[in-house]
Chain A
């Protein structure tokens, strides 16, 4: 509870210094994880967020927030490499964030068609078209969540309907 208050305070404190899209996206990533039911065998395992860059982007805002919890589970920020296959990521990451600038480099490498245990979140519609599950797309001054409904249904985890009700689907 304190952590949520803290992060809200943090989020609010970020806004004091002109809340950036990455800050909003990191908050969204944190919130999205709350509405996803991951299929962990070990119930004590932390919720892991995987980023390709922890110096910039949303990963930079979450990497030091180990005290935050999701459904009474701690979070864990992991730096992954571009060369890692999606199947590998699926074993380690609960949420894998792909920066828009890396989409073209990484997505062609994900050739496995197996069901995944990681929720891949990008930053554009094309990410969804190229096999991504969700995307935080900036529309004007707002960040909107898009979800590829077909891809979601093929994965091992479940996205709560409340999140789906708020999200937009692509393709419709």
Chain B
């Protein structure tokens, strides 16, 4: 089976396989046939010897009975014509010793006599083959009594000759069949291998030259035709695939070119758009500045309008009072000139005059206060220099200074601050901020003097500190939350509120202190302001 393992060609393998199988089959068949034949021949010879022995035994009955060995000897001579028989002995039972004794014999021509076998009767009762001879002893039985024995010795020369002849014939037959099979195998091999070779050449052509247009031809072998058909389908598909691939490559190339063009176009467009954006951004900055300025102007206008509105009332009342007083004075003056002035009129004029002057004074005083407040709003950052301040002490001092103002609401004030916390800040604006928050809580948050609480929680962070201001008052109205730090936003208008307190706080925190302040819109109970201030001036802006 090694031919299938080694590198070999299909022609050689086919021939070898056919030859090997044929040789094996023939050898096996002929060996079995020869073996069976030889066995059969041996069996036939044994049967023949047995039959001849029985015939001789039967015929010898009478001669032994009548002690006629001459007749038996003459009769045995007839076996000259039987080549198989080489020697025959007939033994009769001696009446004296009751032992078998020689009675008659036969020796074939050119065959030497053999010793008497009376000593081997029991051994040779069955056919015994030894040294190219077969020996058999058959008893001569007459009416149930053994009256003698027949010893037959047959030669196996003819059997051996037959075997030799058969082996030679078989060898020649094997050789003949092998030669015949060889030529047949060669013929079959040509019929099978040539189409395979053609397929191989075709595939080599395909693999070397990438010639996918070629096709396998039809042969007279079905299996190879199937293979060729499959190969052709594969080649066709491959060819189609390659064409499609080439087409795709071309398309991809075109797409790449198109894409590059598009990219270039887009790049140019992007650059232009970018430039436009930059221009727009520049314009936006300009617009922003403009808007800021506009806002400033609007804010200023709004503030001026507020100021005008606030100041207008007392001044108007002052004007009205002064006008009324002038009219009263003109009437008195006329009565005095016409000498119709009575004491009653004068008394009434004096009373009215005092009343009007009081009115004028109060309104002018109010106007003066408003102007003073406006002045405070316009903070001057450079008006105070920074200094080291202990925040805890500062908070305590602010609370102490506000005691008289906030006492009527009786709030419980809690300060949670590190006593060692020192900050570098402007203490005046910070005090003002804290006072404003306390004032707002007392005025706006608390409706009565029960269970009022105000808490300062100070957090010391790495670069800043945060003051959380809590009160448990009514909180800030929703409509006011968004613009609580805008100027003139108040819920106590007409009740003494100007709406500038939180605006002032915002300006002080963001401008004077350089921090930030937000109102916690998520606060549920009361108000919560978060003030973040730098530890050193200029850290947060």
What is the interface of chain A, defined by CB distance below 8 A to chain B?
1, 4-5, 8, 11-12, 15-16, 19, 28, 31, 34-35, 142-145, 162-163, 165-166
| CB <8 Å contact, A166 and B63 | yes
Bound-state Cα–Cα, A12 to B97, Å:
9
Contact status A162-B62, CB under 8 Å: yes
CA gap between A163 and B67 in the complex, in Å:
12
Give the CA-CA distance A16 to B144 in the complex, in Å. Answer: 24
- Of the listed residues A15, A34, A166, the one surrounded by the most CB atoms of chain B closer than 10 A to its CB is A166
Contact B145 A31 (CB under 8 A): no
**Of the candidates B67, B68, B98, which one forms a contact with A12 in the assembled complex, judged by CB atoms under 8 Å apart?**
B98
> A4-B143, A5-B145, A165-B71 are contacts. A15–B96 as well, Cβ < 8 Å?
yes
Give the distance in Å from the alpha carbon of A5 to the alpha carbon of B98 in the complex.
12
Q: Say yes or no for B393: interface residue by CB 8 A criterion.
A: no
From B62, B68, B98, name the one whose CB has the most chain A CB atoms within 10 angstroms.
B62
B65, A31: Cβ atoms closer than 8 Å: yes
Q: Which residue of A lies closest to B66 (CB)?
A: A166
Q: A1-B143, A166-B71 are in contact. Are A31 and B66 (CB under 8 A)?
A: yes
B279 within 8 Å of A (CB atoms):
no
A-B complex: 7 closest residue pairs judged by Cβ atoms: A12-B95, A166-B62, A15-B95, A162-B62, A1-B144, A31-B65, A166-B71
A19 to B59, CA, bound (A): 26
How many residues of chain B get a CB closer than 8 Å to chain A's CBs?
17
Q: Are B143 and A145 in contact (CB under 8 A)?
A: no
Which A residues are in CB contact (< 8 Å) with B67?
142-143
Chain B nearest CB: distance from A84 CB in Å? 29
The residue that B66 contacts in the complex, of A1, A8, A12, A145, with Cβ under 8 A, is: A145
Of A11, A16, A166, the residue contacting B68 (CB under 8 A) is A166
Report if B61 contacts A (CB, 8 A). Answer: yes
Are the CB atoms of A4 and B62 closer together than 8 Å? Answer: no
Contact B62 A165 (CB under 8 A): yes
Cβ contact within 8 Å between A8 and B145:
yes
**Chain A residue at smallest Cβ distance from B71:** A166
CA distance A8 to B143 in the complex (A): 12
* Cross-chain contact B144 with A11 (CB below 8 angstroms): no
Q: Which residues of B contact A15 (CB under 8 A)?
A: 95-96
Cβ contacts A to B, 30 pairs, < 8 Å: A1-B143, A1-B144, A4-B144, A4-B145, A5-B145, A8-B147, A12-B95, A12-B98, A15-B95, A15-B96, A16-B96, A19-B95, A28-B66, A34-B143, A35-B62, A142-B67, A142-B68, A143-B67, A144-B68, A145-B68, A162-B59, A162-B61, A162-B62, A163-B62, A165-B62, A165-B71, A166-B63, A166-B66, A166-B68, A166-B71
* Extra inter-chain contacts (6) besides given A15-B96, A16-B96, A145-B68, CB under 8 Å: A1-B144, A5-B145, A19-B95, A31-B66, A165-B75, A166-B71
Residues of B with C-beta under 8 A to A162:
59, 61-62
Complex: how many Å from CA A1 to CA B68?
23
Instruction: Kindly identify, within residues 115 to 139 of chain B, every residue whose CB is under 8 Å from any CB belonging to chain A.
Output: none
CB distance from B94 to the nearest CB of A (A): 9
Tell me the complex Cα distance, A35–B62, Å. 9
How far apart are the CA atoms of A16 and B147 in the complex, in Å? Answer: 18
Contacts of A1 in B (CB 8 A): 143-145
CA distance A1 to B96 in the complex (A): 20
A28: chain B residues at CB < 8 Å are 66
CB distance from B149 to the nearest CB of A (A): 16
| A166: nearest chain-B partner, CB-CB | B62
Bound Cα distance from A19 to B95, whole angstroms:
10
What residue in chain B is nearest A70 (Cβ atoms)?
B143
B380 to nearest A CB, angstroms? 172
Query: Closest Cβ of chain A: how far from B148's Cβ, in Å?
Result: 12
